[in-house]
Amino acid sequence: MGVLTGLLLGAGLACVWSSLWVRPARAVRHDGVPARWQDALVQAGMAGVRPGHVAAAGAVLGLVTALVVLAAVRVPAVAACFGAFAAAVPVLVVQGRARRRRTRVRALWPDVVDHLASAVRAGMTVPEALAQVGERGPAELRAPFVAFAEDHRATGRFTESLDALKARLADPVADRIVEALRLTRDVGGTDLGRLLRTLSAFLRDDLRTRGELEARQSWTVHGARLAVAAPWLVLALLSSRPEAAVAYRTPAGATVLLVGLVCSVVAYAAMVRLGRLPDDPRVLR
C-alpha cells in the first residue's frame, strides 16, 4: 500500500511539474509546398483531391507506361524515360486546369468587387453583400458565396464563415477582399465603398496589362513544349528499329538517354518560367 501511495504521489508531482513548462504551440505554416498544391487543386476544381492522390496517380501511370513501352521496344532505358514523362502527366494536368481557371476567374473579380461596392452603397451589411454575390454575381463564383451564406445563416459566426470562404476560393484577390471586409466589420469605417471601387479599378488595369503580356509571351511556352517533345518523338520512332534498340541497351546508350532526360526537364522548366508571368502569392491566408 505504501509503494502504491508513493507511486501515485510521484505521478501527481510529475504532472504538476510538467504543467509548469508548457511548450509553445508550433505555428502552422500555410506557405509550404503541400499548401500550394492544395490551392492548385482547389483552383482546378478538384477540392476533394489531395496532393498524395495526384502523386499516387502519377506513380501508377508512370509504372504502367514503362511496362507497356518495355514490352514494345525491349529497352529498359527508353521505357524508364517514357515512364518518367507519363508520371508527370497528372501534375501537368492539375497545373494546366488551375492556370486556365485562374485566368477565367481573374477576369471575373472586378465584377465581384463592383457587386460588393453596389451592395454596400445600397446600405447592406457585409454578410448580406457577400450573400448577394452568390445570387447575382458571376456564375462561376457563385457557389463559394452561396456556401458562405449558408454557413453564416447556420452558425452566425462571421469570422469562421469568412475563413471557410477563403479556403473555398483559394485566390489571392479573394484574400484581399475578405480581409478588407473583415477589417471593416471589426473596426468600422465609412471608406469601404471607396476602397472597393479603387480595388476594382486596380484589378481591371492589372487584367489589361497581364493580357497584353501573356499574348506576347505565349509563343515561348508553346515553343518550349515543341522543343521538348520533338526529340522524344524521334526516339520513339528509332526505338521501333532493332538496330537502334540494341544501341540503347548498352550503358553508353542509357547514359545518353539519362542526360537527355535531365536536359529536357531543366530546359522546359527554364523556358516555362521565363515565358510565363508570375502569379500573385497568397500572403493573406
pLDDT, position 67: 93
Contacts of residue 134, Cβ cutoff 8 Å, sequence gap at least 6 = 142, 143, 144, 145, 146, 147, 148, 149
pLDDT tens, position by position, 43-63 = 787 877 888 889 999 999 999
Contacts of residue 148, Cβ cutoff 8 Å, sequence gap at least 6 = 130, 131, 134, 161, 162, 164, 165, 168
pLDDT tens, position by position, 129-149 = 888 888 888 888 888 899 999
Residue with the three cell numbers 526516339: 235
pLDDT, position 137: 85
Grid cell, residue 9, equals 504521489
Instruction: Grade residue 27 by pLDDT with cuts at 50, 70 and 90.
Output: very low
Q: What is the pTM of this model?
A: 0.67
Looking at residue 188, its amino acid is G
Q: What is the mean pLDDT of residues 255-261?
A: 90
Q: Which residue has the higher pLDDT, 23 or 273?
A: 273
pLDDT, position 35: 73
Range of 34-38, 137-141, 239-243 with top mean pLDDT: 137-141
Which range, of 26-30, 73-77, 143-147, 227-231, averages the lowest pLDDT?
26-30
Check: CB of residue 138 under 8 Å from CB of residue 108.
Answer: yes
Q: Which residue has the higher pLDDT, 220 or 16?
A: 220
Task: Give the mean pLDDT of the chain.
Answer: 80
User: CA nearest 172: which of 39, 67, 266, 58?
Assistant: 39
Alpha carbon distances (Å) from 83 to 41, 59, 159, 176, 226? 23, 9, 47, 42, 19
pLDDT tens, position by position, 161-180 = 888 898 888 888 888 888 88
Contacts of residue 209, Cβ cutoff 8 Å, sequence gap at least 6 = none
